[in-house]
Amino acid sequence: MNHIREARMGPANTWKTGAVVGTYPRPLLVLEGDEHGLSVIRDPVEVVDTAGLRLLAAKPREALPPLTAVYFDPHPPSTGSVLIKEFGTVPDKETFPVFVEMFNVLFDVGCPWKTVVLDPLTRLNEIVQRYHASVKAGELADPRKWASSIGQKVAQVVYALKMLECHIVVILHASIDKDELTGQVSYSPMLYSRFRDSISNVMAQFVFAKLDKGQAVVLTRDDGYVTGLGCKWPTGLPAKVGPTFNDIYGNAVKTGETYA
């Protein structure tokens, strides 16, 4: 029986978090980096810190609340001022180490959840960049040095998530580019380094969230302006489906290919 390994990319406000956190198998744990990300969830969410996560991770699955969240970037980095005049990344040596400690609970203590969601990978990208600025400030002037380091660290997190014996979903934002010569518009993952191009190969399901005539859908195949999409399974998915767990994996549950 297969575990889901899904990356869901899309522009803002395309019901990425709502569809995943709101419909995927419970008990569900969301590692949340967007302070407003769970505002679309109508079910009760138990919010814990790392210590609370450690307590829950030691419990049997049936004792867990349906939805649990840990916020890994709850506050902007402290600079002593609301706004600073300097350009560049604000160094932050505190947030990413806290994320690492929280993340490792799932391996040091256990992962009794059916689904673990990282939302969004884009925010993790940002806190890794801030941490990098605090420990390797000398590399900031050359993107060839810092972009690959940041991309590799974010990739390590995704590869580690795939080791968990549960469903995992990684949500990330899409950047939009326009070719000035042809006018062609395209979307790509908002990540640094070559991991931006390879994440579609790393995950078993790579889908694109969008609004179609006001309705949330996901694309499962390339559609001109976004490439790299595809699902190794379930087989036979149409190019455009609804965004919920049942829309994508309902038949796979019935056939025993995965579980709810």
Residue 144 is predicted with a pLDDT of 67
> Which of 18-27, 76-85, 97-106, 142-151 has the weakest average pLDDT?
76-85
pLDDT higher than threshold 80 for residue 26:
yes
DSSP annotation of 120 reads -
pLDDT higher than threshold 70 for residue 8:
yes
- Of 81, 196, 77, which Cα lies nearest the Cα of 132? 77
pLDDT higher than threshold 90 for residue 108:
yes
Please check whether residue 57 is in contact with residue 111, taking contact to mean a CB–CB distance below 8 angstroms.
yes
> Which of 6-10, 86-90, 113-117, 206-210 has the weakest average pLDDT?
86-90
**Given this structure, which CATH class describes domain 5-255?**
alpha beta
pLDDT higher than threshold 90 for residue 47:
yes
Please check whether residue 220 is in contact with residue 229, taking contact to mean a CB–CB distance below 8 angstroms.
yes
Paired with 117 in beta bridges are 30, 169
Q: Write the pLDDT tens digit of every residue in 13-23.
A: 999 999 999 99
Residue 206 is predicted with a pLDDT of 96
Please check whether residue 24 is in contact with residue 169, taking contact to mean a CB–CB distance below 8 angstroms.
yes
Contacts with 110 (C-beta within 8 Å, 6 or more apart), sequence order: 57, 58
**d(C-alpha 141, C-alpha 89), whole Å:** 11
Backbone angles phi, psi at 252, to 5 degrees: -65, -30
What is the domain partition of the chain in residue ranges? 5-255
Here the tokens at position 152 are 């590799």
C-alpha dihedral, 14 to 19 to 21 to 27, nearest 10°: -170
**d(C-alpha 186, C-alpha 195), whole Å:** 17
pLDDT higher than threshold 80 for residue 80:
no
The mean of the pLDDT values for the chain is 90
Pairing of strands 205-212, 167-178: unpaired
Average pLDDT of the residues in 233-246 = 96
Q: Is the entire prediction scored with pTM above 0.75?
A: yes
pLDDT higher than threshold 60 for residue 79:
no
pLDDT higher than threshold 60 for residue 189:
yes
Residues composing the chain: 260
Average pLDDT of the residues in 209-236 = 93
pLDDT higher than threshold 70 for residue 170:
yes
Average pLDDT of the residues in 62-79 = 83
Residue 195 is predicted with a pLDDT of 77
Average pLDDT of the residues in 58-72 = 97
Amino acid found at 77: P
Average pLDDT of the residues in 118-138 = 88
> Which of 50-54, 112-116, 198-202 has the weakest average pLDDT?
198-202
Does residue 53 or residue 147 have the better pLDDT?
A: 53
Q: How confident is the model at residue 199 (pLDDT cuts 50, 70, 90)?
A: confident
Average pLDDT of the residues in 238-250 = 98
In 164-255, which ranges are continuous DSSP H helix?
195-202, 245-255
Cα maximum dimension of the chain: 59
> Which of 46-60, 194-208, 214-228 has the weakest average pLDDT?
194-208
